[in-house]
Structure 1
Amino acid sequence: MSHMLDIALIQTRTPATAQGGLDHVSPLIRQAAADGAQLILTPEGTNFLEQRRDRRALVLSDEDQDVCVLGLQGLAAELGVWLLIGSAIVRSGHAGDDRAANRSLLIDPGGRIVARYDKLHVFDVDLPNGESYRESAGIRPGDAAAVAQMPWGRLGLSVCYDVRFPQLFRRLAKAGAEVIAVPAAFTVPTGRAHWETLLRARAIETGAFVLAPAQGGLHEDGRSTWGRTLAVSPWGEVLGVLDHDAPGVLSLQLDLSAVETARRSVPQLSHDREFAGPA
């Protein structure tokens, strides 16, 4: 098994329809594949970003009928690459709950979906600048973590707000994840304050590569996202960043042997202790 892995992180400014999402991201994925990427990761909300509930109801579909998901399965097969759809907004499939799932989908070079993960933690917040978000109003949170096997090692899955919950990342690392994906559509205020710091902390704590493809800029539905797609080493070093909001591709080569080196140097994953309290 090779320790070297060529990856690409895609930064997007996704439109408000699934066809628009597919048309927007496909050229960037083709560019990444042409540059030699074996694993390509896209952001949260790759298929569409639409927070207006009446309009979202018109474009929401089942996973197996979503125009963008189907198109990206075909594109992965055409290009012969592994592709992580950072997330697609699709019907959850739970009877009696009309909320969507915010779902990561890992696609193999045959175009098959080989792993799924529904975002565990949903973003409900009133920000100091007056912005308010109630992701739980439209998104049904998942209830299980996920680690997927790839030819180069194991990939842990998370989405956006999950990055604030280190216990999830520790579980992923203990399940063997050497690379952890954090596709996101971060708000501008929280992105400016916390984005890089959180990603570097999660990498240091787990001794894993953390790969964070992001949405960036002003979207059709009126939201603004932070961008700054980022890749972090297991030692917490920033390996690469798109230091802007515009759509683009960040291409890197990872030496996965750095995971073992970091975990030998600081063997924190084996040093958990049970403890009492606090009361």
Structure 2
Amino acid sequence: MATNEAKGSLLSSTVTLSNSMTIPQIQLGLYMMSGREAKQSVHWALQAGYRGFDCAQVYRNEREAGNTIREFLCSDENTEGLRRADVFYTTKLASNSTSYAAVRRSVKNSVNASGLGYVDLFLLHSPYGGKDARLTSWKALEDAVGDGEVKMIGVSNYGVLHIEELMASNPRIKPVINQIEVHPFNTQTSIRHVCAEHNIMVEAYAPLVRAMRMKHPTVLELSKKYSRSPAQLLVKWSLQHGMVTLPKSTHRERLIENADIGSFEISQEDIRTMDALDEKLVTDWDPTDAQ
């Protein structure tokens, strides 16, 4: 099956991070997928041209995701001759800890579970646990980079104070990513601004608002105007704001549709209209104000 089935796909699009390394701008989110769903979705996504996959320890599908990537790379379906270095794999630490050794073990366990040899991007999944746990966990991630287990590191669900706290600690390795919930109904302007000040790329999870606003009148009106689905409109919004985006789907046709957005642009006027939809909508959890 040909890679990049979607005619207007942006799956080959990458962005350069502050460490001069690149990351796919559209990736498949694996949140709340069972092992079986993750295996099937990752396989379909690889066939369709996806090269980035966002996993986490708490998702309980690291093994299935990693095994599916490895199997694809070694299969006859890999007609492009893709190598491990051509696939970007992210996972996240379930719990920050004041025990450096516990975090290092946890990182090693994730690397081993994936079977991929290393993790491209390892994130602290949340700021929970307090300052000491956050900074100890960060030091453990820095050393995982030094030991070759991880290529780059970042954070997730970090609010303004958490970002400032980490940067004030003068980390040996600076975070390249802050993965947060971002969409027109929760624009996270203050967090995005502080990330920009520190050259931290924002990675948008739940860009489709977990389907909670697909029938919103403005979304439907603009979808009709651009002859695109609500999902395509929402993914395009995050890209035009310069973010990495993580649309999730367990349906093959929607995986392809979500990336088929290269042949249209939302006007700046309509971008502002979508920005104005902000209602601070949280679709799942919001640790950004944790102490």
Shared fold by TM > 0.5? no
- Structure with bigger strand share is 1
Superposition TM-score, scaled by structure 1 size: 0.44
